[in-house]
Chains A and B, each alone.
Chain A
Amino acid sequence: MSSIAFQHVSKTFPNSTHAAVNDCTFEVDSGSFVVLLGPSGCGKTTLLKMVNRLLEPTAGEIFLDGKNIRALEATQLRRRIGYVIQQVGLFPHLTVAQNIAVVPELLGWERARIDARIDGLLELVELKPEYYRARYPAQLSGGQQQRVGLARALAADPQVLLMDEPFGAIDAITRASLQDEMLRLKNTIHKTILFVTHDVDEALRLADKIVVLRAGRIVQYDTPYHLLTAPANEFVRELVGADDMVRQLSLLRVEHVMAPLPKNFVLNGTPTILQQDDLRNALSKLLQSGASALAVLDETKPVGVLSLEQIRASAKRA
Protein backbone atom coordinates (compact mmCIF):
# COMPACT_ATOMS: atom_id res chain seq x y z
CA MET A 1 0.00 0.00 0.00
CA SER A 2 0.98 3.55 -0.53
CA SER A 3 0.75 6.82 1.27
CA ILE A 4 0.32 10.15 -0.50
CA ALA A 5 1.72 13.39 0.90
CA PHE A 6 0.86 16.86 -0.37
CA GLN A 7 3.27 19.63 0.62
CA HIS A 8 2.27 23.24 0.02
CA VAL A 9 0.65 22.30 -3.27
CA SER A 10 -0.75 25.19 -5.29
CA LYS A 11 -2.12 25.40 -8.79
CA THR A 12 -2.98 28.50 -10.76
CA PHE A 13 -4.33 27.95 -14.24
CA PRO A 14 -3.02 30.10 -17.08
CA ASN A 15 -5.27 33.12 -17.71
CA SER A 16 -6.56 32.95 -14.17
CA THR A 17 -5.88 35.45 -11.41
CA HIS A 18 -6.72 33.27 -8.42
CA ALA A 19 -5.31 29.91 -7.41
CA ALA A 20 -7.54 26.88 -8.05
CA VAL A 21 -5.62 25.06 -5.33
CA ASN A 22 -3.93 27.17 -2.71
CA ASP A 23 -1.14 25.90 -0.46
CA CYS A 24 -2.60 22.51 0.43
CA THR A 25 -0.66 20.33 2.82
CA PHE A 26 -2.00 17.01 4.07
CA GLU A 27 -1.21 13.33 4.16
CA VAL A 28 -3.22 10.34 3.07
CA ASP A 29 -2.27 7.32 5.13
CA SER A 30 -1.53 4.09 3.41
CA GLY A 31 -4.72 2.06 2.95
CA SER A 32 -7.09 4.80 4.00
CA PHE A 33 -10.12 6.16 2.19
CA VAL A 34 -9.91 9.94 1.94
CA VAL A 35 -12.63 12.06 0.38
CA LEU A 36 -12.02 15.50 -1.12
CA LEU A 37 -15.25 17.37 -0.41
CA GLY A 38 -16.41 20.82 -1.34
CA PRO A 39 -18.67 22.88 -3.58
CA SER A 40 -17.98 22.92 -7.31
CA GLY A 41 -15.00 25.05 -8.20
CA CYS A 42 -13.31 24.46 -4.84
CA GLY A 43 -10.32 22.78 -6.46
CA LYS A 44 -11.00 19.17 -5.45
CA THR A 45 -10.72 17.70 -8.95
CA THR A 46 -7.68 19.84 -9.68
CA LEU A 47 -6.05 18.48 -6.54
CA LEU A 48 -6.86 14.90 -7.56
CA LYS A 49 -5.53 15.28 -11.10
CA MET A 50 -2.19 16.47 -9.80
CA VAL A 51 -1.63 13.07 -8.21
CA ASN A 52 -1.51 11.28 -11.58
CA ARG A 53 0.04 14.34 -13.20
CA LEU A 54 -2.81 15.09 -15.59
CA LEU A 55 -2.14 18.51 -14.10
CA GLU A 56 1.14 19.81 -12.72
CA PRO A 57 1.22 21.99 -9.59
CA THR A 58 2.55 25.52 -9.98
CA ALA A 59 4.13 25.21 -6.54
CA GLY A 60 4.67 22.50 -3.95
CA GLU A 61 5.42 18.80 -4.12
CA ILE A 62 3.47 15.56 -4.03
CA PHE A 63 5.04 12.39 -2.66
CA LEU A 64 3.93 8.84 -3.27
CA ASP A 65 5.45 6.56 -0.64
CA GLY A 66 7.96 9.26 0.12
CA LYS A 67 9.05 9.57 -3.53
CA ASN A 68 8.47 12.82 -5.36
CA ILE A 69 6.10 11.95 -8.21
CA ARG A 70 7.93 14.34 -10.49
CA ALA A 71 10.88 11.98 -10.44
CA LEU A 72 8.76 9.37 -12.23
CA GLU A 73 7.77 9.33 -15.86
CA ALA A 74 4.11 10.38 -16.10
CA THR A 75 2.95 7.31 -18.08
CA GLN A 76 4.75 4.92 -15.70
CA LEU A 77 3.26 6.68 -12.68
CA ARG A 78 -0.26 6.54 -14.15
CA ARG A 79 -0.08 2.82 -14.86
CA ARG A 80 0.47 2.32 -11.13
CA ILE A 81 -2.53 4.43 -10.15
CA GLY A 82 -6.12 3.36 -10.78
CA TYR A 83 -8.27 6.15 -12.21
CA VAL A 84 -12.07 6.23 -12.23
CA ILE A 85 -14.16 9.05 -13.65
CA GLN A 86 -17.86 9.43 -14.45
CA GLN A 87 -19.17 6.69 -16.75
CA VAL A 88 -18.14 8.42 -19.96
CA GLY A 89 -14.66 7.14 -19.18
CA LEU A 90 -15.31 3.66 -20.60
CA PHE A 91 -14.08 3.33 -24.18
CA PRO A 92 -17.25 2.80 -26.25
CA HIS A 93 -15.52 0.87 -29.05
CA LEU A 94 -14.05 -1.73 -26.69
CA THR A 95 -15.88 -4.55 -24.95
CA VAL A 96 -16.02 -4.79 -21.18
CA ALA A 97 -13.13 -7.29 -21.26
CA GLN A 98 -11.05 -5.09 -23.58
CA ASN A 99 -11.69 -2.05 -21.41
CA ILE A 100 -10.46 -3.87 -18.32
CA ALA A 101 -7.44 -5.20 -20.22
CA VAL A 102 -6.11 -1.75 -21.18
CA VAL A 103 -3.59 -1.20 -18.41
CA PRO A 104 -2.42 -4.85 -18.14
CA GLU A 105 -1.79 -4.71 -21.90
CA LEU A 106 0.17 -1.48 -21.54
CA LEU A 107 2.22 -3.26 -18.90
CA GLY A 108 2.79 -6.18 -21.24
CA TRP A 109 1.07 -8.94 -19.26
CA GLU A 110 0.60 -12.33 -20.87
CA ARG A 111 -2.79 -13.08 -22.43
CA ALA A 112 -3.71 -15.89 -20.03
CA ARG A 113 -2.92 -13.74 -17.01
CA ILE A 114 -5.01 -10.86 -18.38
CA ASP A 115 -7.96 -13.16 -19.07
CA ALA A 116 -7.87 -14.61 -15.59
CA ARG A 117 -7.64 -11.11 -14.12
CA ILE A 118 -10.68 -9.90 -16.12
CA ASP A 119 -12.82 -12.76 -14.78
CA GLY A 120 -11.62 -12.22 -11.23
CA LEU A 121 -12.34 -8.49 -11.33
CA LEU A 122 -15.79 -8.89 -12.86
CA GLU A 123 -16.64 -11.29 -10.06
CA LEU A 124 -15.27 -8.82 -7.52
CA VAL A 125 -17.67 -6.12 -8.74
CA GLU A 126 -20.46 -8.69 -8.97
CA LEU A 127 -20.92 -8.88 -12.73
CA LYS A 128 -21.04 -12.40 -14.19
CA PRO A 129 -17.94 -12.70 -16.44
CA GLU A 130 -19.51 -15.11 -18.94
CA TYR A 131 -22.39 -12.69 -19.37
CA TYR A 132 -20.62 -9.33 -19.39
CA ARG A 133 -17.15 -9.91 -20.89
CA ALA A 134 -18.19 -9.47 -24.52
CA ARG A 135 -20.66 -6.64 -23.95
CA TYR A 136 -20.11 -3.05 -25.03
CA PRO A 137 -20.45 -0.14 -22.58
CA ALA A 138 -23.59 1.13 -24.34
CA GLN A 139 -25.32 -2.16 -23.49
CA LEU A 140 -24.84 -1.61 -19.77
CA SER A 141 -26.78 0.47 -17.26
CA GLY A 142 -25.08 3.43 -15.61
CA GLY A 143 -24.45 1.44 -12.45
CA GLN A 144 -22.98 -1.50 -14.37
CA GLN A 145 -20.75 0.85 -16.35
CA GLN A 146 -19.43 2.28 -13.13
CA ARG A 147 -18.70 -1.22 -11.81
CA VAL A 148 -16.74 -1.94 -14.98
CA GLY A 149 -14.96 1.40 -14.54
CA LEU A 150 -13.93 0.33 -11.07
CA ALA A 151 -12.82 -3.10 -12.28
CA ARG A 152 -10.76 -1.41 -15.00
CA ALA A 153 -9.09 0.87 -12.49
CA LEU A 154 -8.18 -2.13 -10.32
CA ALA A 155 -6.90 -4.19 -13.27
CA ALA A 156 -3.18 -3.93 -12.71
CA ASP A 157 -3.58 -4.08 -8.93
CA PRO A 158 -2.55 -0.46 -8.30
CA GLN A 159 -1.79 0.60 -4.74
CA VAL A 160 -3.64 3.87 -5.19
CA LEU A 161 -7.10 4.58 -6.60
CA LEU A 162 -8.19 8.03 -7.71
CA MET A 163 -11.96 8.40 -8.09
CA ASP A 164 -13.39 11.61 -9.55
CA GLU A 165 -17.11 11.88 -8.75
CA PRO A 166 -17.54 8.28 -9.88
CA PHE A 167 -21.20 8.10 -8.89
CA GLY A 168 -22.02 11.65 -9.97
CA ALA A 169 -24.25 10.82 -12.92
CA ILE A 170 -26.09 7.90 -11.36
CA ASP A 171 -29.61 7.79 -9.95
CA ALA A 172 -30.04 7.87 -6.18
CA ILE A 173 -30.98 4.22 -5.68
CA THR A 174 -28.13 2.80 -7.78
CA ARG A 175 -25.83 5.31 -6.15
CA ALA A 176 -26.66 4.01 -2.69
CA SER A 177 -26.03 0.42 -3.76
CA LEU A 178 -22.71 1.40 -5.37
CA GLN A 179 -21.73 3.15 -2.14
CA ASP A 180 -22.50 -0.03 -0.18
CA GLU A 181 -20.41 -1.91 -2.71
CA MET A 182 -17.59 0.58 -2.24
CA LEU A 183 -17.69 0.09 1.55
CA ARG A 184 -17.56 -3.66 1.12
CA LEU A 185 -14.70 -3.43 -1.40
CA LYS A 186 -12.76 -1.01 0.74
CA ASN A 187 -12.33 -3.73 3.33
CA THR A 188 -11.33 -6.39 0.78
CA ILE A 189 -9.07 -4.66 -1.73
CA HIS A 190 -6.87 -2.68 0.69
CA LYS A 191 -6.06 0.32 -1.46
CA THR A 192 -5.25 3.89 -0.68
CA ILE A 193 -8.25 5.70 -2.12
CA LEU A 194 -8.64 9.38 -2.93
CA PHE A 195 -12.25 10.14 -3.79
CA VAL A 196 -13.73 13.41 -5.05
CA THR A 197 -17.36 14.32 -4.43
CA HIS A 198 -19.59 17.29 -3.77
CA ASP A 199 -22.15 15.03 -2.10
CA VAL A 200 -21.80 15.45 1.67
CA ASP A 201 -23.77 12.32 2.55
CA GLU A 202 -21.62 10.25 0.22
CA ALA A 203 -18.46 11.67 1.79
CA LEU A 204 -19.64 11.02 5.35
CA ARG A 205 -20.71 7.47 4.51
CA LEU A 206 -17.56 6.39 2.71
CA ALA A 207 -14.63 8.30 4.13
CA ASP A 208 -12.12 7.43 6.80
CA LYS A 209 -11.08 11.05 6.62
CA ILE A 210 -12.45 14.03 4.71
CA VAL A 211 -10.62 17.02 3.28
CA VAL A 212 -13.10 19.91 3.24
CA LEU A 213 -12.06 22.39 0.57
CA ARG A 214 -13.25 25.89 -0.08
CA ALA A 215 -11.86 28.18 -2.78
CA GLY A 216 -8.74 26.06 -3.13
CA ARG A 217 -7.89 25.95 0.57
CA ILE A 218 -8.25 23.17 3.12
CA VAL A 219 -10.83 24.19 5.70
CA GLN A 220 -10.69 21.03 7.79
CA TYR A 221 -9.09 17.61 7.44
CA ASP A 222 -10.69 15.18 9.82
CA THR A 223 -12.76 12.05 10.32
CA PRO A 224 -16.50 12.20 9.50
CA TYR A 225 -17.17 11.87 13.21
CA HIS A 226 -15.09 14.90 14.11
CA LEU A 227 -16.47 16.95 11.22
CA LEU A 228 -19.94 16.37 12.62
CA THR A 229 -19.08 16.75 16.27
CA ALA A 230 -16.37 19.40 16.07
CA PRO A 231 -16.72 21.40 12.86
CA ALA A 232 -13.86 23.88 12.44
CA ASN A 233 -16.12 26.77 11.51
CA GLU A 234 -19.56 27.82 10.38
CA PHE A 235 -18.88 26.75 6.79
CA VAL A 236 -18.16 23.17 7.79
CA ARG A 237 -21.01 23.13 10.29
CA GLU A 238 -23.48 24.09 7.60
CA LEU A 239 -21.90 21.91 4.93
CA VAL A 240 -22.16 18.71 6.96
CA GLY A 241 -25.40 19.66 8.70
CA ALA A 242 -23.89 19.25 12.16
CA ASP A 243 -27.04 20.46 13.90
CA ASP A 244 -29.36 17.76 12.62
CA MET A 245 -28.94 14.83 14.97
CA VAL A 246 -31.11 12.27 13.21
CA ARG A 247 -29.21 12.95 10.01
CA GLN A 248 -25.94 12.53 11.86
CA LEU A 249 -26.99 9.15 13.15
CA SER A 250 -27.77 8.01 9.62
CA LEU A 251 -24.34 9.11 8.41
CA LEU A 252 -22.02 7.95 11.16
CA ARG A 253 -20.77 4.41 10.91
CA VAL A 254 -20.93 1.98 13.80
CA GLU A 255 -17.18 1.36 13.68
CA HIS A 256 -16.49 5.00 14.57
CA VAL A 257 -18.26 4.96 17.94
CA MET A 258 -18.26 1.30 19.02
CA ALA A 259 -16.51 0.20 22.20
CA PRO A 260 -13.78 -2.44 22.06
CA LEU A 261 -14.80 -6.03 22.50
CA PRO A 262 -14.84 -6.97 26.22
CA LYS A 263 -12.62 -9.88 27.28
CA ASN A 264 -14.23 -13.32 27.13
CA PHE A 265 -17.02 -12.00 24.94
CA VAL A 266 -19.44 -14.65 23.73
CA LEU A 267 -22.00 -13.87 21.06
CA ASN A 268 -24.64 -16.07 22.63
CA GLY A 269 -27.74 -14.65 20.97
CA THR A 270 -26.71 -10.98 21.25
CA PRO A 271 -28.22 -9.04 18.33
CA THR A 272 -25.55 -8.07 15.80
CA ILE A 273 -24.81 -5.28 13.37
CA LEU A 274 -22.15 -4.83 10.67
CA GLN A 275 -19.39 -2.34 11.42
CA GLN A 276 -20.05 -0.33 8.23
CA ASP A 277 -23.73 0.04 9.10
CA ASP A 278 -24.95 3.44 10.33
CA LEU A 279 -25.96 4.49 13.84
CA ARG A 280 -29.58 5.06 12.88
CA ASN A 281 -29.96 1.39 12.01
CA ALA A 282 -28.09 0.46 15.16
CA LEU A 283 -30.43 2.56 17.26
CA SER A 284 -33.55 1.03 15.77
CA LYS A 285 -32.08 -2.46 16.28
CA LEU A 286 -31.35 -1.68 19.92
CA LEU A 287 -34.86 -0.37 20.51
CA GLN A 288 -36.49 -3.26 18.69
CA SER A 289 -34.54 -6.02 20.39
CA GLY A 290 -34.56 -4.44 23.85
CA ALA A 291 -30.99 -5.66 24.29
CA SER A 292 -28.55 -3.49 26.25
CA ALA A 293 -25.89 -3.67 23.53
CA LEU A 294 -25.27 -4.88 20.00
CA ALA A 295 -22.33 -7.00 18.91
CA VAL A 296 -20.49 -5.38 15.99
CA LEU A 297 -19.33 -7.72 13.22
CA ASP A 298 -16.85 -7.36 10.38
CA GLU A 299 -18.54 -9.72 7.90
CA THR A 300 -17.98 -12.75 10.16
CA LYS A 301 -16.49 -12.26 13.61
CA PRO A 302 -17.37 -9.82 16.39
CA VAL A 303 -14.99 -6.83 16.62
CA GLY A 304 -16.74 -4.58 19.17
CA VAL A 305 -19.89 -3.73 21.06
CA LEU A 306 -22.31 -0.83 20.78
CA SER A 307 -24.65 0.29 23.53
CA LEU A 308 -27.19 3.08 23.82
CA GLU A 309 -24.70 5.05 25.94
CA GLN A 310 -22.19 5.22 23.12
CA ILE A 311 -24.80 6.42 20.66
CA ARG A 312 -25.98 9.04 23.12
CA ALA A 313 -22.42 10.15 23.80
CA SER A 314 -21.71 10.54 20.10
CA ALA A 315 -24.80 12.70 19.66
CA LYS A 316 -24.10 14.80 22.75
CA ARG A 317 -20.77 15.99 21.51
CA ALA A 318 -22.41 17.61 18.52
Chain B
Amino acid sequence: MVLIEAYNYLLSRGDEIWVALGQHLLLVGVALGIGIVLCVPLGVLTSRSRAASLAIINMANALRVVPSLAILFLAIPYFGLSFTSSALALTVLALPPILINTDAAFRTIEPPLKEAALGMGMTARQVLWRIEFPLALPVIVAGIRIATVEVIASATLAAFIGGGGLGIYITRGFALFDTSILLVGAISVALLALTAEILLGGLERFVRTPYG
Protein backbone atom coordinates (compact mmCIF):
# COMPACT_ATOMS: atom_id res chain seq x y z
CA MET B 1 0.00 0.00 0.00
CA VAL B 2 2.72 2.38 1.08
CA LEU B 3 4.74 1.19 -1.89
CA ILE B 4 2.04 2.23 -4.33
CA GLU B 5 1.79 5.60 -2.65
CA ALA B 6 5.55 5.95 -2.91
CA TYR B 7 5.39 5.07 -6.61
CA ASN B 8 2.63 7.60 -7.23
CA TYR B 9 4.59 10.27 -5.38
CA LEU B 10 7.62 9.49 -7.50
CA LEU B 11 5.57 9.94 -10.72
CA SER B 12 3.95 13.13 -9.47
CA ARG B 13 7.35 14.83 -9.01
CA GLY B 14 8.32 14.41 -12.65
CA ASP B 15 12.07 14.64 -13.26
CA GLU B 16 13.02 15.36 -9.67
CA ILE B 17 14.25 11.82 -9.01
CA TRP B 18 16.71 12.03 -11.92
CA VAL B 19 18.13 15.32 -10.71
CA ALA B 20 18.49 13.86 -7.22
CA LEU B 21 20.11 10.72 -8.60
CA GLY B 22 22.51 12.86 -10.63
CA GLN B 23 23.53 14.85 -7.53
CA HIS B 24 23.88 11.65 -5.54
CA LEU B 25 26.15 10.06 -8.15
CA LEU B 26 28.20 13.22 -8.40
CA LEU B 27 28.75 13.23 -4.62
CA VAL B 28 29.74 9.57 -4.67
CA GLY B 29 31.95 10.08 -7.72
CA VAL B 30 33.84 13.02 -6.21
CA ALA B 31 34.37 11.24 -2.89
CA LEU B 32 35.59 8.04 -4.53
CA GLY B 33 37.69 9.86 -7.11
CA ILE B 34 39.57 11.77 -4.43
CA GLY B 35 39.76 8.62 -2.30
CA ILE B 36 41.33 6.56 -5.11
CA VAL B 37 43.76 9.23 -6.28
CA LEU B 38 44.91 9.80 -2.72
CA CYS B 39 44.85 6.34 -1.17
CA VAL B 40 46.14 4.01 -3.88
CA PRO B 41 49.55 5.71 -4.15
CA LEU B 42 49.61 6.21 -0.38
CA GLY B 43 48.83 2.53 0.17
CA VAL B 44 51.70 1.53 -2.14
CA LEU B 45 54.06 3.69 -0.09
CA THR B 46 52.88 2.46 3.30
CA SER B 47 53.15 -1.17 2.21
CA ARG B 48 56.89 -0.62 1.78
CA SER B 49 57.47 0.35 5.40
CA ARG B 50 56.20 -1.40 8.47
CA ALA B 51 56.25 1.76 10.62
CA ALA B 52 54.54 4.01 8.08
CA SER B 53 51.96 1.33 7.51
CA LEU B 54 51.11 0.96 11.20
CA ALA B 55 50.82 4.72 11.70
CA ILE B 56 48.69 5.45 8.67
CA ILE B 57 46.45 2.40 8.96
CA ASN B 58 45.68 3.23 12.58
CA MET B 59 44.88 6.77 11.57
CA ALA B 60 42.57 5.50 8.85
CA ASN B 61 40.85 3.21 11.31
CA ALA B 62 40.41 6.10 13.73
CA LEU B 63 38.74 8.09 10.93
CA ARG B 64 36.33 5.22 10.48
CA VAL B 65 35.03 5.62 13.99
CA VAL B 66 34.07 9.29 13.56
CA PRO B 67 30.45 9.40 12.38
CA SER B 68 29.95 10.98 8.95
CA LEU B 69 27.30 13.22 10.42
CA ALA B 70 29.87 14.68 12.82
CA ILE B 71 32.31 15.38 9.97
CA LEU B 72 29.45 16.92 8.05
CA PHE B 73 28.76 19.42 10.81
CA LEU B 74 32.46 20.05 11.39
CA ALA B 75 32.83 20.99 7.73
CA ILE B 76 29.98 23.47 7.72
CA PRO B 77 31.89 26.35 9.37
CA TYR B 78 34.47 26.17 6.56
CA PHE B 79 32.45 25.26 3.49
CA GLY B 80 28.94 26.23 4.54
CA LEU B 81 25.75 24.34 3.85
CA SER B 82 26.87 23.02 0.55
CA PHE B 83 27.90 20.32 -1.86
CA THR B 84 31.55 20.87 -0.88
CA SER B 85 30.91 20.11 2.78
CA SER B 86 29.02 16.96 1.87
CA ALA B 87 31.69 15.81 -0.58
CA LEU B 88 34.38 16.38 2.03
CA ALA B 89 32.58 14.32 4.66
CA LEU B 90 32.02 11.50 2.19
CA THR B 91 35.65 11.56 1.07
CA VAL B 92 36.77 11.01 4.65
CA LEU B 93 34.48 8.00 4.68
CA ALA B 94 35.90 6.63 1.42
CA LEU B 95 39.58 6.81 2.46
CA PRO B 96 40.01 3.97 5.00
CA PRO B 97 38.80 0.95 3.00
CA ILE B 98 40.77 1.93 -0.10
CA LEU B 99 43.92 2.70 1.88
CA ILE B 100 43.77 -0.40 4.05
CA ASN B 101 43.10 -2.73 1.11
CA THR B 102 45.82 -1.22 -1.08
CA ASP B 103 48.34 -1.54 1.72
CA ALA B 104 47.34 -5.15 2.39
CA ALA B 105 47.33 -6.04 -1.31
CA PHE B 106 50.89 -4.87 -1.88
CA ARG B 107 52.13 -6.19 1.44
CA THR B 108 50.95 -9.74 0.76
CA ILE B 109 52.71 -10.16 -2.60
CA GLU B 110 55.30 -12.85 -2.03
CA PRO B 111 58.83 -11.40 -1.83
CA PRO B 112 60.34 -14.18 -4.02
CA LEU B 113 58.07 -13.02 -6.87
CA LYS B 114 59.48 -9.52 -6.69
CA GLU B 115 62.98 -10.92 -6.45
CA ALA B 116 62.42 -13.12 -9.49
CA ALA B 117 61.20 -10.08 -11.42
CA LEU B 118 64.22 -8.03 -10.37
CA GLY B 119 66.53 -10.96 -11.05
CA MET B 120 65.21 -11.17 -14.60
CA GLY B 121 66.23 -7.59 -15.21
CA MET B 122 63.07 -5.57 -14.58
CA THR B 123 63.54 -2.07 -13.20
CA ALA B 124 61.77 -1.25 -9.92
CA ARG B 125 59.15 0.64 -11.93
CA GLN B 126 58.56 -2.34 -14.22
CA VAL B 127 58.19 -4.64 -11.21
CA LEU B 128 55.58 -2.26 -9.80
CA TRP B 129 53.50 -1.93 -12.97
CA ARG B 130 53.88 -5.37 -14.53
CA ILE B 131 53.95 -7.61 -11.48
CA GLU B 132 52.83 -5.94 -8.25
CA PHE B 133 49.98 -3.81 -9.54
CA PRO B 134 48.16 -6.53 -11.51
CA LEU B 135 48.49 -8.89 -8.55
CA ALA B 136 47.22 -6.27 -6.10
CA LEU B 137 44.36 -5.04 -8.27
CA PRO B 138 41.59 -7.44 -7.15
CA VAL B 139 42.11 -6.52 -3.50
CA ILE B 140 42.26 -2.79 -4.35
CA VAL B 141 39.00 -3.11 -6.30
CA ALA B 142 37.47 -4.88 -3.30
CA GLY B 143 38.42 -1.87 -1.16
CA ILE B 144 36.86 0.48 -3.70
CA ARG B 145 33.71 -1.64 -3.70
CA ILE B 146 33.40 -1.45 0.09
CA ALA B 147 34.02 2.31 0.00
CA THR B 148 31.48 2.81 -2.79
CA VAL B 149 28.67 1.05 -0.97
CA GLU B 150 29.42 2.93 2.26
CA VAL B 151 29.55 6.26 0.45
CA ILE B 152 26.32 5.63 -1.51
CA ALA B 153 24.49 4.88 1.71
CA SER B 154 25.99 7.81 3.60
CA ALA B 155 25.50 10.31 0.77
CA THR B 156 21.84 10.53 1.87
CA LEU B 157 23.12 12.67 4.77
CA ALA B 158 24.09 15.39 2.31
CA ALA B 159 20.44 16.39 2.06
CA PHE B 160 20.53 17.44 5.73
CA ILE B 161 22.88 20.30 4.90
CA GLY B 162 21.52 21.15 1.48
CA GLY B 163 23.94 19.04 -0.51
CA GLY B 164 21.16 17.40 -2.50
CA GLY B 165 21.05 13.80 -3.60
CA LEU B 166 18.52 11.04 -2.99
CA GLY B 167 18.54 11.95 0.70
CA ILE B 168 16.11 14.80 -0.04
CA TYR B 169 13.26 12.28 -0.03
CA ILE B 170 14.30 11.05 3.36
CA THR B 171 14.55 14.52 4.93
CA ARG B 172 11.30 15.52 3.25
CA GLY B 173 9.50 12.35 4.35
CA PHE B 174 10.79 12.93 7.82
CA ALA B 175 9.65 16.54 7.91
CA LEU B 176 6.19 15.80 6.47
CA PHE B 177 5.90 12.63 8.49
CA ASP B 178 5.13 10.75 5.26
CA THR B 179 6.47 7.20 5.05
CA SER B 180 5.83 6.91 1.30
CA ILE B 181 8.12 9.85 0.49
CA LEU B 182 10.74 8.46 2.86
CA LEU B 183 10.54 5.12 1.04
CA VAL B 184 11.24 6.73 -2.34
CA GLY B 185 14.62 7.78 -0.94
CA ALA B 186 15.34 4.60 0.99
CA ILE B 187 14.50 2.21 -1.85
CA SER B 188 16.34 4.16 -4.53
CA VAL B 189 19.48 4.38 -2.38
CA ALA B 190 19.29 0.67 -1.60
CA LEU B 191 18.93 -0.17 -5.28
CA LEU B 192 21.86 2.08 -6.16
CA ALA B 193 24.08 0.45 -3.51
CA LEU B 194 23.08 -3.00 -4.70
CA THR B 195 23.86 -2.13 -8.32
CA ALA B 196 27.28 -0.78 -7.35
CA GLU B 197 28.00 -3.90 -5.32
CA ILE B 198 27.13 -6.15 -8.26
CA LEU B 199 29.04 -4.13 -10.86
CA LEU B 200 32.19 -3.73 -8.79
CA GLY B 201 32.00 -7.34 -7.64
CA GLY B 202 32.00 -8.27 -11.32
CA LEU B 203 34.99 -6.01 -11.96
CA GLU B 204 36.80 -7.62 -9.05
CA ARG B 205 36.31 -11.08 -10.55
CA PHE B 206 37.33 -9.78 -13.96
CA VAL B 207 40.71 -8.48 -12.75
CA ARG B 208 41.39 -11.56 -10.64
CA THR B 209 43.88 -14.00 -12.13
CA PRO B 210 42.10 -17.03 -13.53
CA TYR B 211 42.97 -20.13 -11.50
CA GLY B 212 45.01 -17.88 -9.15
Contact = CB atoms under 8 A, between A and B. Distances in A.
A77 B112 CA distance: 19
A86 B122 CA distance: 19
Contacts, number: 65
B119 interface: yes
Contact of A75 (B112, B113, B123, B209): B123
Contacts of A75: 121-123
Given A54-B118, A79-B121, A85 B209 contact: no
* Interface SS, B side: helix
B212 A91 contact: no
Contacts of B119: 49, 52, 54, 78, 83, 85, 162
A103 B117 CA distance: 10
B131 A136 contact: no
A301 interface: no
B121 A86 contact: no
A146 to B, nearest CB: 13
B121 A106 contact: yes
A25 B115 CA distance: 26
A138 interface: yes
Contact of A78 (B112, B118, B134, B211): B118
A52 B113 CA distance: 16
Interface residues of A, number: 26
Contacts of B116: 83, 85, 88-91
Interface in B114-160: 115-123, 126, 131, 134-135
A139 B211 contact: yes
Nearest to A102: B120
A78 B209 contact: no
Contacts of A103: 120-121
A108 to B, nearest CB: 12
A106 B122 contact: yes
B191 to A, nearest CB: 34
Contacts of B209: 92-93, 136, 138
A103 B212 CA distance: 22
B121 A78 contact: yes
Interface in A73-114: 75-80, 83, 85-86, 88-93, 102-103, 106
Given A83-B120, A106-B121, A89 B211 contact: no
Contacts of A85: 112, 115-116, 119
Nearest to A89: B116
B15 interface: no
Nearest to A135: B211
A10 B94 CA distance: 50
Contacts of B118: 54, 78
A93 B121 contact: no
Contacts of A90: 116
Contact of B131 (A76, A77, A91, A138): A91
Interface string A141-154: 00000000000100
Contacts of B112: 85-86, 88-89
Interface string A106-136: 1000000000000000000000000000001
B134 to A, nearest CB: 5
A85 B117 CA distance: 11
B121 A136 contact: no
Nearest to B135: A93
A54 B117 CA distance: 11
B35 to A, nearest CB: 25
A92 B132 CA distance: 11
A76 B212 CA distance: 31
A86 B115 CA distance: 12
A88 B135 CA distance: 14
A136 B209 CA distance: 9
Nearest to A137: B211
Given A138-B212, A139-B211, A106 B115 contact: no
Interface in A11-70: 49, 52, 54
A106 B126 contact: yes
Given A75-B122, A78-B120, A79-B121, A92 B115 contact: no
Interface of A: 49, 52, 54, 75-80, 83, 85-86, 88-93, 102-103, 106, 136, 138-139, 152, 162
Given A76-B121, A139-B211, 13 more contacts: A75-B121, A78-B121, A79-B120, A80-B121, A88-B112, A88-B116, A90-B116, A92-B212, A93-B131, A93-B209, A102-B120, A102-B122, A103-B121
5 contacts: A75-B121, A77-B121, A85-B115, A88-B112, A103-B121
